[in-house]
Structure 1
Amino acid sequence: MDNFQALMLALIQGLTEFLPISSSAHLILPSQVLGWPDQGLAFDVAVHLGTLLAVLVYYRRDVWAMTRGAGQGLVERRVNPDLRLGLLVVLATIPAVAAGFLLKDLIENELRSAAVIATTTVVFGVALWLADIWGARRRGVDQLGVGSALLIGVAQAVALIPGTSRSGITITAALALGFRREDAARFSFLLSIPVILGAGLLKTKDLLESRVPVDWMHMALGVVVSAVTAYLTILFFLRLLDRIGMLPFMLYRLLLGAVLFLWFV
């Protein structure tokens, strides 16, 4: 992998991690169409770290509030609103963790084909749009309950199927449950923190065990470019969300799915 390829892959990861358009559907294109080599474990760790830094910086107030709320809750022995939100994030993470351990072999061996990615890109793109136009869009994150958090968590577990889009399906679930667009995106992005952290730690463990030589320049490039790109993506996505809705992302996913079907299937 040369410097240009590393730059482009970090840009793709930063752009697609938080937009509801599926990172796996985009990352298949450089390798399959252009014949680019696999980016490798070290670079995977780098871009995961970059996107994690981006969401932590953007939602630093929420993260600090949940951390402080947890401390206050332990001292006062009561559940305050910030602690409650943190607990709901943890609760909604459990289904994806359980599904990842139970279905790891099935996902890696049976569900990584171009046909699956193309199909999920289209199907869940339409689902996103339908949830947007049919959802009540009246609830805020402060109205999130245990049942809603679990349902969004189950939706996140479905995102283990390549092409689904983690942010896309969690926002879809939240919109279908009546949450406002910005609140749906906010909870989805907060929910990404433990997921990205966990995936990064697993990849770091695999990297240490593999003893593969590390290209530190490419790693640094991956961290910086993916972090800056992901932060700007979150910023502009949230600013434009109420104006544009989900229709542009649905149309884009239909186009991308059509390209994948024509090219690979």
Structure 2
Amino acid sequence: MNYTEAIIMGILQGFTEWLPISSSGQVMLALINFFGISPEKAHSYALLLHFGTLFAVLFKFRYELGKILMNLITLRWGEEETFLFYSTLFTAVVGFPLYKAFKTAVASLNVESVNGIVGFALILTGIVLARSRENPKDEFEQIVTKKRKGEVTIVEAIIAGIAQGVAILPGISRSGMTIGALLLLGVEQKKAVKLSFLMAVPAIFGALFLELRAVNEPITVSLAAVLSAFIVSLLTLEGMLKLAEKLNFSKFCILFGSIAVIASLMGVLI
């Protein structure tokens, strides 16, 4: 990749990270179909770009994260500390095997196959988003009994962690799955959005630790991509979050997922 392509991908990552449309899926599709990057390298680069949006999250929630870190160190665990512990634990339990399986599979897949996988994952994301806009199911409300009004429970943290673990697969939106899961469980929307972004921090750190060595682009090109992702993320964070709350992105995911699946089938048949 050259500097122009790196900056374009950083801008794409910066915009799409805050929307429930799978930033990694969108970046992978762009890298594969427009810039001719192999699926394996595209997957590594898509994860690398999360470095930029990670620093944007760290800056945005610096006071909350600093307080949570101190509470974790001093073992003064409250609601958020307990939620982050269990959600991160189950993200690792679910996400790591999926990451290893996809990493192994993507090395032997062609462009058409990856387009199809990401397309189906986007459609799944769209279905989850559409479902989460409805009222929580009665059975969820029976499973999760809150100790105090509005407090998230360990069960909710585990379910959110599982949802985030599944979202290691490109095309499945991390924010869409985690926020959608929490909304289905009856968590208030503002709290669900905040918890989703807080739980992203350890998850992204973990993914970057696993993937950083696989990126073999020149360091200056990678820095250009990460820096552009950080700047765009920071500038658009508030606006994109408000947009995500107002608009229904389920149709967007299903539409783009269908296009990717159709393109995959055409590539196989032609």
Normalised-by-shorter TM-score class: 0.7 to 0.9
> Are the counterparts in 1 of residues 13 and 24 from structure 2 also a CA contact under 8 Å?
no
Which whole-Å CA distance do the structure 2 matches of 1:149 and 1:260 have between them?
A: 32
Aligned-partner SS, 2:132? helix
CA offset at residue 45 of structure 1? Answer: 7.0
Determine the structure 2 residue equivalent to 1:234.
237
Deviations 1:20-64 (A, max 9, x none): 101233123323332433567995675232111010001112101
Q: Pick one of 72, 95, 100 that aligns with 1:100.
A: 95
Q: Pick one of 156, 173, 181 that aligns with 1:148.
A: 156
Amino acid in structure 2 at the alignment position of 1:59: F
Greater CA drift, 96-105 or 150-159: 96-105
> Are the counterparts in 1 of residues 28 and 46 from structure 2 also a CA contact under 8 Å?
no
CA offset at residue 91 of structure 1? Answer: 1.2
Aligned-partner SS, 2:134? helix
> Are the counterparts in 2 of residues 91 and 149 from structure 1 also a CA contact under 8 Å?
yes
CA offset at residue 204 of structure 1? Answer: 2.9
Determine the structure 1 residue equivalent to 2:221.
218
Matches within 5 A, 1:1-265: 1-38=1-38, 47-71=49-73, 73-74=74-75, 79-81=76-78, 84-110=79-105, 113-135=114-136, 143-206=151-214, 212=216, 215-242=218-245, 244-245=246-247, 247=248, 249-265=249-265
Amino acid in structure 2 at the alignment position of 1:237: M
Q: Percent identity?
A: 25
> Are the counterparts in 2 of residues 43 and 222 from structure 1 also a CA contact under 8 Å?
no
> Are the counterparts in 1 of residues 19 and 241 from structure 2 also a CA contact under 8 Å?
no
Greater CA drift, 7-16 or 29-38: 29-38
Deviations 1:217-263 (A, max 9, x none): 31221221111222234311333444x15x1x112112211221222
Judging changes above 3 Å, is the alpha-carbon distance between structure 1 residues 105 and 52 closer, same or farther for their aligned structure 2 residues?
closer
Judging changes above 3 Å, is the alpha-carbon distance between structure 1 residues 49 and 131 closer, same or farther for their aligned structure 2 residues?
same
Which whole-Å CA distance do the structure 1 matches of 2:122 and 2:49 have between them?
A: 22
Judging changes above 3 Å, is the alpha-carbon distance between structure 1 residues 118 and 141 closer, same or farther for their aligned structure 2 residues?
farther
TM-score, normalised on structure 1? 0.81
Determine the structure 1 residue equivalent to 2:141.
none
Amino acid in structure 2 at the alignment position of 1:94: L
CA offset at residue 125 of structure 1? Answer: 0.8
> Are the counterparts in 2 of residues 46 and 220 from structure 1 also a CA contact under 8 Å?
no
Judging changes above 3 Å, is the alpha-carbon distance between structure 1 residues 40 and 141 closer, same or farther for their aligned structure 2 residues?
farther
> Are the counterparts in 2 of residues 46 and 223 from structure 1 also a CA contact under 8 Å?
yes
Deviations 1:76-129 (A, max 9, x none): xxx453xx4123212101122123333444323447732222112112212212
Judging changes above 3 Å, is the alpha-carbon distance between structure 1 residues 250 and 216 closer, same or farther for their aligned structure 2 residues?
same
Judging changes above 3 Å, is the alpha-carbon distance between structure 1 residues 218 and 128 closer, same or farther for their aligned structure 2 residues?
same
Aligned residues: 248
TM-score, normalised on structure 2? 0.80
Listed as ranges, the gaps of 5+ residues in structure 2 are 107-112, 138-145, 266-270
Which whole-Å CA distance do the structure 1 matches of 2:228 and 2:126 have between them?
A: 27
Aligned-partner SS, 1:149? helix
Which whole-Å CA distance do the structure 2 matches of 1:229 and 1:141 have between them?
A: 37
Listed as ranges, the gaps of 5+ residues in structure 1 are none
Backbone CA RMSD of aligned residues: 2.8
Greater CA drift, 233-242 or 12-21: 233-242
